[in-house]
Amino acid sequence: MLLAALAAASATALIAPAVATAAPETATATAVPAVLDATALPGARTTDPAGTRTQWPETLGLPKAWAEKVILRDRPDLRVVHVPEGALVTMEYDENRVRIVHDAFGLVTQVPTIG
C-alpha cells in the first residue's frame, strides 16, 4: 500500500510540474520526445569537419534494424556491422564501417560511430 502511494506520488510529481508550467503554445511543441533528437545531446558532435555524418546518437535505445535504416539513409556508402554487447571486436579503424552495439533484446546500447 505504501509502495503504491509512493509510486502514484512520484508519477504525479514527474508529470504535474511539466504540465502546470508549460504554456499552451509550448505544450504542443514538447510532444516530440527530445531523446530522439541528435541536437538534444549536449556536446554531441555528429559530423566531421566536412559535414559528413560520423555518429548517430539519436539511435540509442532503438531496435538495431531501425538504427541500421537510419544510418544507411544518411550514409548508404557505409557497411553496418551488428555487434552483441560485450563481444570482442578488432581495434583497426575502418572509415567505411559502422558498428551497432546492441543488447540481448536487440536495442542499441552505444552510439554508432564510424570506425
Answer CATH for 33-114 from 3.40.50.720, 3.30.1300.10, 3.30.10.10, 1.20.950.20:
3.30.10.10
What are the sequence ranges of the domains in the chain? 1-31, 33-114
| Tens-place pLDDT, residues 26-54 | 444 444 444 444 444 555 567 778 778 89
Question: Is the full-model pTM beyond 0.95?
Answer: no
> 3-state SS string over the chain?
CHHHHHHHHHHHHHHHHHHHHCCHHHHCHHHCCHHHCHHHCCCCCCECCCCCECECHHHCCCEHHHHHHHHHHHCCCCEEEEEECCCCCCCCCCCCEEEEEECCCCEECCCCEEC
